[in-house]
Chains A and B, each alone.
Chain A
Amino acid sequence: MTDATTRTRDLIDALYRSDSRRVLATLVRLLGDIDAAEEALHDAFVCAMEQWPRDGVPDNPRAWLVSAGRFRAIDQLRRRAVLDRSRSAMELEASSLAELRPVDDDAEEIDDRLRLIFTCCHPALSVDAQVALTLRTIAGLTTEEIASAFLVPAPTLAQRIVRAKSKIRDARIPYEIPERDALPDRLDSVLSVLYLVFNEGYSATHGEAVVRADLCAEAIRLTRLVGELLPDPEVDGLLALMLLHDSRRHARTDDAGEALLLREQDRTRWDRALIAEGVRLTERAISSRRVGAFTLQAAIAAVHAEAESADATDWHQIVGLYDVLLRVQPSPVVRLNRAVAIGLARDAGTALALIDDLLGEGELASYAPAHAARGYLLEQLDRTAEAAEAYGVARDLAVQGPQKRHLDRRADALRGGPS
């Protein structure tokens, strides 16, 4: 193989990583079907591998790939239509031929990428399916990668994606950017999917690893993409929230890989560049005067990020932010976090009463962090035996290995056992 050939192949590899999702987004519109578009994308890159080393790299490689993919797909459809003259194949052919539009149009290309995002995160699909489809189709992860990140068997995940694609086809979920009046709700649904992906990476609900960094990185990349395509204060807020959490990634575990609480972390290990970007985005989102739940959570994370030590944290400001958040998003978890902040800003007794009320209502009864927070407040009030008991309850409810061990250590320390 000549040097030039090697260089061309490297370029095609790089192009696949950087641009294959854009080509796919346009092919889905042209072909009206995700499966057909994925096949066409594959064929287009196979063509490039055959032709570019021989004929040279085209001026606009992306447009070339779209044309090649579309041509191959239509060719396939024609052949299939001859074999079985089913109406769907004929219709698909007719519609794809009718809708041929220039593909080097930047605005249209941005729209295609948004169409793909809104289709994958359509609320008529289950949340599990939205997450799987987003990571598969928009992020370009393999089914195996997604399955291992979410600790589900690969065939289960593959099935989930197949079902979602069938529903898009059979129920005719349109490939479109939502109308203005539906846009805020639909954008919320996209952002929740991205936050779910981030959280799965960040808190890894199961197993031993505290962080699965690859999922965090994907979620951040996709949120940046949504922000570029569709600027909106809540997208800034979500991106800021992710960056501010991610800034603590290296400080969240000790050398033995055990989880550390915010107040135990070595703040010199926080990533200052991520914090600076997160704070800047939070400020931009707040100045828009349309402050949503993600922006408020980012603002809370920013207060933590800017405190030089746990003791220097401005807890009064955090309580104030939780007060606002509670109005925007009145959930039990927000009430729990607000109570803990009150414990640190004012007194543990008031906070404990709030948490006991919450637990009394039953919704958080099996939520480990609620019992861990209770244990912490009881410890502050020198009610040692009750604190140890609360940590024990939290430990039994915790699903993460490192969390369990952390709670064991706290309970043991109170009982005067091994620390």
Chain B
Amino acid sequence: MKYLCLLYADESMWATMTPEDASQMVAEYGALTADLKRSGHYVGGAQLQASTSATTVRVRGGKTLNTDGPFIETKEQLAGYYLVEASDLNEALSIAARIPASRGGAIEVRPLVEAPVPANA
């Protein structure tokens, strides 16, 4: 079963970090990604650019309305994601607890809807 781990963190953190801390953080993510690939849990993942780069799109009555900024303004912003394959929620939760952003920030773990098999498959 696939689970999407959404990483929420305070973006201002990067600005206040020393270069050493920042490169250590990058290394930690690199090591985790490599581990997850080796163990077969990794499906996908990425770091997102800052929420100031976000644009929110709404279509209302056929008209497209684009607005600057993320859908929800909060102190902790969506900063990245891992898409993982896990046998059950317990396994997904223990993977989430290994993501550096779980310390200080938070990881939201969401199971994906499994695509139904078509009747004639």
CB distance from B50 to the nearest CB of A (A): 30
A90 to B117, CA, bound (A): 10
A171-B89, A171-B111, A173-B88 known; A87+B1 contact, CB < 8 A: no
A170 to B1, CA, bound (A): 10
Do residues B90 and A174 form an inter-chain contact, with CB atoms below 8 A? yes
Q: Does A383 contact B (CB under 8 A)?
A: no
Question: Contacts of A86 on B, CB cut-off 8 Å?
Answer: 116-117
CB distance from B96 to the nearest CB of A (A): 11
Q: Does B73 contact A (CB under 8 A)?
A: no
A172 to B114, CA, bound (A): 12
Q: Does B93 contact A (CB under 8 A)?
A: yes
A124-B93, A171-B111, A172-B111 known; A87+B117 contact, CB < 8 A: yes
Question: Contacts of B116 on A, CB cut-off 8 Å?
Answer: 86-87
Do residues A174 and B117 form an inter-chain contact, with CB atoms below 8 A? no
CB distance from A145 to the nearest CB of B (A): 29
CB distance from B54 to the nearest CB of A (A): 27
Q: Does B46 contact A (CB under 8 A)?
A: no
Do residues A173 and B114 form an inter-chain contact, with CB atoms below 8 A? no
The prevalent SS among residues of A at the interface is loop
A33 to B18, CA, bound (A): 50
* CB interface residues, A 167-184, toward B, < 8 Å: 170-174, 176, 178, 182
CB distance from B46 to the nearest CB of A (A): 23
A85 to B90, CA, bound (A): 29
Do residues B114 and A174 form an inter-chain contact, with CB atoms below 8 A? no
Closest chain A residue, CB of each to CB of B3? A171
Question: Contacts of B87 on A, CB cut-off 8 Å?
Answer: 174
CB distance from A189 to the nearest CB of B (A): 13
A124 to B94, CA, bound (A): 12
A329 to B19, CA, bound (A): 38
Closest chain A residue, CB of each to CB of B1? A172
Do residues B89 and A174 form an inter-chain contact, with CB atoms below 8 A? yes
Q: Does B72 contact A (CB under 8 A)?
A: no
A170 to B116, CA, bound (A): 14
Closest chain B residue, CB of each to CB of A85? B119
Closest chain B residue, CB of each to CB of A90? B117
CB distance from B33 to the nearest CB of A (A): 23
Closest chain A residue, CB of each to CB of B86? A172
A172 to B109, CA, bound (A): 12
Closest chain A residue, CB of each to CB of B94? A182
A124 to B1, CA, bound (A): 17
User: Top 10 A-B pairs ranked by shortest CB distance?
Assistant: A174-B88, A87-B117, A172-B88, A171-B111, A171-B89, A173-B89, A172-B1, A85-B119, A172-B89, A174-B90
* Cross-chain pairs A/B with CB under 8 angstroms, 9 sampled: A85-B119, A87-B116, A88-B114, A172-B1, A172-B88, A173-B88, A173-B89, A174-B87, A178-B90
Residue numbers of B with Cβ under 8 A of A are: 1, 87-90, 93, 109, 111, 114, 116-117, 119
* Besides A85-B117, A174-B87, 7 new A-B residue pairs in contact (Cβ under 8 A), listed by A number: A86-B117, A87-B117, A124-B93, A171-B111, A172-B89, A173-B90, A174-B88
